Structure 1
Amino acid sequence: MTTLSQPLSYLTSKCVALYIDPNIRLQLYLRCPCFASAHKSEPMRIRDLKLRPDNFEINGIIYSLGVITQYTDTPNPRSVVWDNAEGGIQEHVDIYGFPPRRRQDDAENVRTDNVQMAHLRDSITIMKQDLKPGNRIKIQRLNLKAEAYNMRINNIPPPYLHYLQLTISTGKLVKIESVVYDKQFKFAREYIEKMVFGNKKIQVEHLQIGGDTYLHDLDNRIGITFGPPRHEPLFDYTPQTDSVKPLLSIRSLEVGVLRVTGILINALASLRPILSQTPLKKLKAVCHQRTFTKDPIVNTTEFLQIAQGSPINVLSNRPNYRIHLGLAFDLKDDLINLVYEWKKREIRIGTHYSVGETEDSVSYTFTMFRNIPGAKLGENEETRLTEFPECIIIPMGNDTELNVYCNKPNEEEKEYCRSEFIVKMKWQPRGYARAVEWD
């Protein structure tokens, strides 16, 4: 005789909610009404959360929301098939697939559309003269766009409909759900965010905000905005702090390691209203216009990693105990003033800065430190028995000294330093290193 299965008790459900994989937990929440109370009351623990401009990823499973196009009486053109497969449109559009008109003046709207259509026709003419592989699909895409402008100008209903599509993918497994697109895209996105992240607290071990590659500071400084336009202020190529909303509609967030690949102050603006008081263990980000913000979230981070290149003076007046620069420049102009600033501060023993260096640049960096007034050559316990025993000793305030030395990155250091060498600057008690006369 079979016995009926018994539902989990509330306390057991809470334990399951706390320790189960968050993706499975979401499925239980959506399928089992009795699990909802436990789901909403217990923190959600996520190992890796990546928030990109066009999707978010939870422990390797990618959730993507987009507006796709489906022709009603004919198969989709090949370019539309490709665009749908890439996730569709990531912003609110009208029935023609364009952002809704903002002006009330119909005549002005028609003029604007005619200008856009003319630009498209010119681009098509130029591309037809070039046999570059892939142009056929691109020309088809531009032709369809020009036809859509023409239909909008003449108020002709388009031969296609738009659908809101949620894609959940892990490796080769893909699950797709589609509904008729009848609400603004941002409302649909917020609905998904609240459904996934709407419980009381989210605990994330590793959080990434932005694409998988860093936005290079050089592009910021000379005004380059590469890639598609950003419809979400969080991912904009310029600071948009007044427009950024709290991250993913989360109400309370605890983060261990934060990696920001775009504009850091935008990311911090999204985190500030919801981030717990627990300091970040690590923060990985890049400079913006040769500066690195001194926001309280940054200043309390245990290990600050400034990726790519940055001026050496970003190390000025930093309270962080551990900082690594991917590459430093402007040593000739700023290093002496920086060292003088360090001497005036009471920097605690054990404070550790480091910089990635190439084989060509490491000797220049050592020379610049050696030329600091009062600097001596020597060795300390870390360098004495190594391949690179040289250590530069610079007297600091409060009976401390700065030891500057280098080595090739070990396995642990390779996680954040991709250079051939790593130059280390450590504050030690006065006399920790011993001056040595080099032969």
Structure 2
Amino acid sequence: MTYDLSYPGQRCIIEFLEANKRIHLVSRSPALQKAEKSIPFNLDHIQIKINSLALNNISIEIHIATEQITENDPRYESRPDEVKMQPGFIRSGHSDSVWHRRFNEVVFFRNGERIAGRPLPENVKDYIALEKLNQIMLGGRKDIQVNILEFNTYYSRVILRLPEGLNFRIKELNTNREDFKYYLPLIDVSSFPLKKLQIPFLGSQIFEHQIVKNSDFLAINEMSLQLNESIPLNDINKLTNKTVLIQHSKIGEEGVMTLIRNWLSGEKSIGTTLMLEKSFMPINQAILMSIKETYEEFEDDLEHVEENFLPNCPRFCIPINNSSNLLVYGVDRGIDNNFNWHISAVVMKVVATTSEVIPRNYQNELSNEAFILSHCVAPLKISLKISVTPSDGNDKTTRIECIVRYLDSSQKLELAQRCLELRTADRTTPLRIYDLKLNPMDVRINDTTYGVTLHKVPRRTEYLPEYIHENSHSSDNIFYDVDQYGFKDYSVGPDDSFFWESSEPSIDYEYYVNILLEMHSLTRADLSESAEKARSDISLSKTPDMSKLQCLFDRKDDDYLFPYILRHMGMNPHEMPYYYCIGLNVSTSNEKKTELVNYTCKLVNVVKYMFAKIFGNRELVIAKKMEIRSFYCFRYKFRSHFIVSDLTISSDYSKVLNELGPLLNNTGQRSLQSLRIVVHDNNNDINHAIIKTAEFLTVEEGLSNEQLRQLSNKRVIFCNYGYQREILFLVGEWKRNTPAIGTHYSFPVFDIADQVVYGALDEILRQLDGSSERLYPETKKTKFPHCITFKLSR
């Protein structure tokens, strides 16, 4: 025997049902529909976007879909006129006769995965469907209680078609990149003060708003700021919130040091926390290492603090007064779901003084050498047998140095990054490398290359059609800072850039843009007008019509003109069909790994960080082979001393020797075994001490008579083609000033044509005074067995 639930019983069950299950149940019961909207509606998360509504883990979106309709389909005859063929028309670029019909569709997602979809009637506009969706889900409800209310419109000027009288009782508000003031009319006054408020930084005036001041947790996003802008430090110091999170923070080392000094004044209450979050983890690691230079005596492991600490980064417990300490450390915050970036944060937190957070230098320092080494070495699969015996600190340091001294250089660098004790010892032991190559934006150590590049990443936007995404190409060959379009950012000073100093071909791309526009009967005014029309359509929740410009973007051969066209259209950063990321590359002969991070800092700073991580304060680098290329673009000052056997300089050798000369082979006055240089027109002086003392000198390109006269090396190889002048000059010079016995200069013979030249040169040499012909044993088996000899002064 069954009994119907009473109305109070039904109300109790419906109120505490999960929101999506509740809607699913009520939609199938007309009896429940009458009173359901008067019952409080409880949700964990609501997200309202331009074209969708998400309740908890279910998202309902309205977007454009495409259906392929063939000639056999009866609907093919109803296709629009612009895709119909007429006599004389031809299809270019394709041969199919399929009509790609576009229509609006309602799609349901659960946790990001599509679970269902329904097409909208052709006479129903997408914004009308979205308005009805919001009305069905949220309209008429007297009490909506939600933990997190989120709005996500991404700078778009849109009209959110929400039901009249909509009112939320919330705990957290997230407006992403829009001003939170737009959404305050939707929030019940009983919601304040908020547990958490997440807003963009749109000026210092937002910190005066009472809702911002009274929120327990305040998250501020700096994404909308320019490259060199950040929240003023005075504004951050004035904040009274218990916890403050700066997302995509642009505060650097100097700013963090200023905040620490301000917090040590003792004005912050216990429990106050500040987190500076960045998507480029190495910057936070560098900030923590710079803090160590000032507060090294307060470094502490913070073993009793439960956090996902950044690996290989120092942590600090700095006394403020007798009752409180300041903790400073780095944390790994995982992956940002919106951008799929790895993020980290520098944390500053005021805590009460207890036995658990007393700075280490006030306690007895305990260390376990066996634990340190096994913890750090095991991941690298290096088998080390270590015996731990009572000893003083010097013995411990000596043993660690012995371990790292003879490791492979690539393993040594990775190992040193994992352990502070090993990193300290590693800086004092030589880095031994067989083959070292230095480029402006990458370093090759043996078979491992560490580099930085700028990547152009395509993406889809609602402002431009999808075929732009298909025609956009990802690139990793950009060696300079760029603006949103991809043009060189000349606002970055020459000392902070990698602009190549070599001349570039002068091409008038604007001329080709004009030709392209004339071919399609368009003007530049049409570009800007189409962009404004698209923005207007999107603000009205309409699908933007860019068909007028389709002919421009449908030409793959002219994709190099896309940035110029987009600039004339005045596209904003979020409207662009591509964006830029910094690529951190580690490659070997077997694999290449690239991690893309947010492009929020100058390229030169990332490269300087990379060089500092490899060389930094290292005292000595020993390399069998070393090659330096394009030195005029280097923006890093080396501090290490180099001992090199074979050196190759592929760029301006005078600048290289002036910069690196004081650091090169100055230990024990060693000379280079081999030096290879390229002589350019602007390199007149080869009288440098490093060149003159090299045992084996290789020269590319020709030398003037004065430069040939300056040579004093016993062994020289010339690599340039055509050497008659040099030989004739040297014969005369050596007859006047005899070089040391054993001096040996060589010139190349490339092909049969050189044999003809050699024969002519041979005749000239025979005619010089004091010459004679003889056979030497070392030349008997060569193509030119006869030797011309001259009597010199000695």
Range class of TM-score, shorter chain: 0.5 to 0.7
Q: Which residue of 2 aligns with 1:221?
A: none
Alignment check: 8 A CA contact 1:246 1:274 kept: no
| Unaligned runs of at least 5 residues, structure 1 | 104-114, 129-134, 211-231, 236-243, 400-439
**SS class of match (2:454):** strand
Scaled by the length of structure 1, the TM-score of the pair is 0.67
Distance (whole Å) between structure 1 residues aligned to residue 636 and residue 689 of structure 2: 17
Q: Which residue of 1 aligns with 2:774?
A: 378
Alignment check: 8 A CA contact 1:311 1:328 kept: no
**1:305-344 correspondence to structure 2 within 5 Å:** 305-307=698-700, 314-327=707-720, 329=722, 331=724, 335-344=727-736
Alignment check: 8 A CA contact 1:124 1:142 kept: no
Alignment check: 8 A CA contact 1:299 1:320 kept: yes
Alignment check: 8 A CA contact 2:481 2:603 kept: yes
Deviation, 1:263, is 3.2
Deviation, 1:194, is 0.6
**SS class of match (2:748):** strand
Instruction: Give the aligned length.
Output: 342
| Unaligned runs of at least 5 residues, structure 2 | 1-368, 374-395, 493-506, 521-553
Deviation, 1:30, is 1.6
Deviation, 1:157, is 4.5
Alignment check: 8 A CA contact 1:79 1:138 kept: no
Deviation, 1:39, is 1.3
**SS class of match (2:400):** helix
**1:396-415 correspondence to structure 2 within 5 Å:** 396-397=792-793, 399=794
Q: Which residue of 1 aligns with 2:447?
A: 60
**SS class of match (1:356):** coil
- Indicate how the Cα distance of structure 1 residues 11 and 206 shifts in structure 2: closer, same or farther if over 3 A, else same: same
Q: Which amino acid aligns with 1:24?
A: Q
Deviation, 1:26, is 1.5
**SS class of match (2:510):** helix
Deviations 1:79-134 (Å, cap 9, x if unpaired)?
65431xxx25221223443333549xxxxxxxxxxx97624515767999xxxxxx
Alignment check: 8 A CA contact 1:311 1:329 kept: no
Say yes or no: does 1:195 pair with 2:613: yes
Q: Which residue of 1 aligns with 2:567?
A: 149
Deviations 1:187-232 (Å, cap 9, x if unpaired)?
111011111121122122111222xxxxxxxxxxxxxxxxxxxxx7
Q: Which residue of 2 aligns with 1:361?
A: 757
Q: Which amino acid aligns with 2:606?
A: A
Q: Which residue of 1 aligns with 2:559?
A: 140
- Indicate how the Cα distance of structure 1 residues 314 and 371 shifts in structure 2: closer, same or farther if over 3 A, else same: farther
Q: Which residue of 1 aligns with 2:650?
A: 261
**SS class of match (1:396):** coil
Alignment check: 8 A CA contact 1:282 1:304 kept: yes
**SS class of match (2:671):** coil
- Indicate how the Cα distance of structure 1 residues 26 and 126 shifts in structure 2: closer, same or farther if over 3 A, else same: farther
Q: Which residue of 2 aligns with 1:207?
A: 626
Q: Which residue of 2 aligns with 1:214?
A: none
**1:9-408 correspondence to structure 2 within 5 Å:** 9-71=396-458, 73-74=460-461, 77-78=469-470, 80-83=472-475, 87-102=476-491, 118-119=510-511, 121-122=513-514, 137=556, 139-143=558-562, 145-150=563-568, 157-159=574-576, 160-198=578-616, 199-210=618-629, 234=632, 249-277=638-666, 278-289=670-681, 293-294=685-686, 295-307=688-700, 314-327=707-720, 329=722, 331=724, 335-357=727-749, 358-383=754-779, 388-397=784-793, 399=794
Q: Which amino acid aligns with 2:450?
A: Y
Deviations 1:42-86 (Å, cap 9, x if unpaired)?
111111122235533211212221222345655893565431xxx
Q: Which amino acid aligns with 1:197?
A: F
Alignment check: 8 A CA contact 1:94 1:100 kept: yes
Distance (whole Å) between structure 2 residues aligned to residue 91 and residue 281 of structure 1: 36
**SS class of match (1:316):** helix
Q: Which has the higher contact order (CA 8 A, sep 6+)?
A: 1
Alignment check: 8 A CA contact 1:202 1:250 kept: no
Q: Which amino acid aligns with 2:607?
A: R
Deviations 1:322-347 (Å, cap 9, x if unpaired)?
10112464635x65543332233241
Distance (whole Å) between structure 2 residues aligned to residue 62 and residue 41 of structure 1: 23
Alignment check: 8 A CA contact 2:675 2:696 kept: yes
- Indicate how the Cα distance of structure 1 residues 371 and 253 shifts in structure 2: closer, same or farther if over 3 A, else same: same
**SS class of match (1:272):** helix
Q: Which amino acid aligns with 1:175?
A: K
Distance (whole Å) between structure 1 residues aligned to residue 479 and residue 782 of structure 2: 54
Distance (whole Å) between structure 1 residues aligned to residue 519 and residue 413 of structure 2: 47
**SS class of match (2:697):** strand
- Indicate how the Cα distance of structure 1 residues 245 and 370 shifts in structure 2: closer, same or farther if over 3 A, else same: farther
- Indicate how the Cα distance of structure 1 residues 341 and 290 shifts in structure 2: closer, same or farther if over 3 A, else same: farther
Distance (whole Å) between structure 2 residues aligned to residue 387 and residue 396 of structure 1: 26
Alignment check: 8 A CA contact 2:458 2:473 kept: no
- Indicate how the Cα distance of structure 1 residues 393 and 254 shifts in structure 2: closer, same or farther if over 3 A, else same: same
- Indicate how the Cα distance of structure 1 residues 352 and 260 shifts in structure 2: closer, same or farther if over 3 A, else same: same
Alignment check: 8 A CA contact 1:262 1:286 kept: yes
Alignment check: 8 A CA contact 2:442 2:451 kept: yes
Alignment check: 8 A CA contact 1:291 1:314 kept: no
Deviations 1:284-307 (Å, cap 9, x if unpaired)?
223313966412221111111113
Alignment check: 8 A CA contact 2:772 2:789 kept: yes
Distance (whole Å) between structure 2 residues aligned to residue 173 and residue 288 of structure 1: 36
Distance (whole Å) between structure 2 residues aligned to residue 101 and residue 314 of structure 1: 38
Q: Which residue of 2 aligns with 1:410?
A: none
Deviations 1:250-285 (Å, cap 9, x if unpaired)?
532222111223333343344224222322211122
Scaled by the length of structure 2, the TM-score of the pair is 0.39
Structure 1 stretch 383-392 or stretch 363-372: which is displaced more?
A: 383-392
Alignment check: 8 A CA contact 1:207 1:257 kept: yes
Deviation, 1:5, is 5.2
Q: Which amino acid aligns with 1:281?
A: Q
**SS class of match (2:718):** strand
Distance (whole Å) between structure 2 residues aligned to residue 382 and residue 202 of structure 1: 39
Percent identity between the two aligned chains: 24
Distance (whole Å) between structure 1 residues aligned to residue 747 and residue 705 of structure 2: 9
Alignment check: 8 A CA contact 2:443 2:450 kept: yes
- Indicate how the Cα distance of structure 1 residues 60 and 276 shifts in structure 2: closer, same or farther if over 3 A, else same: same
Alignment check: 8 A CA contact 1:80 1:141 kept: no
Q: Which has the larger radius of gyration?
A: 2
Deviation, 1:136, is 5.9
**SS class of match (2:413):** helix
Alignment check: 8 A CA contact 1:331 1:365 kept: yes
* RMSD between superposed Cα atoms in Å: 3.6
- Indicate how the Cα distance of structure 1 residues 126 and 189 shifts in structure 2: closer, same or farther if over 3 A, else same: farther
Distance (whole Å) between structure 1 residues aligned to residue 448 and residue 625 of structure 2: 15
Q: Which amino acid aligns with 1:261?
A: S
Alignment check: 8 A CA contact 2:410 2:445 kept: yes
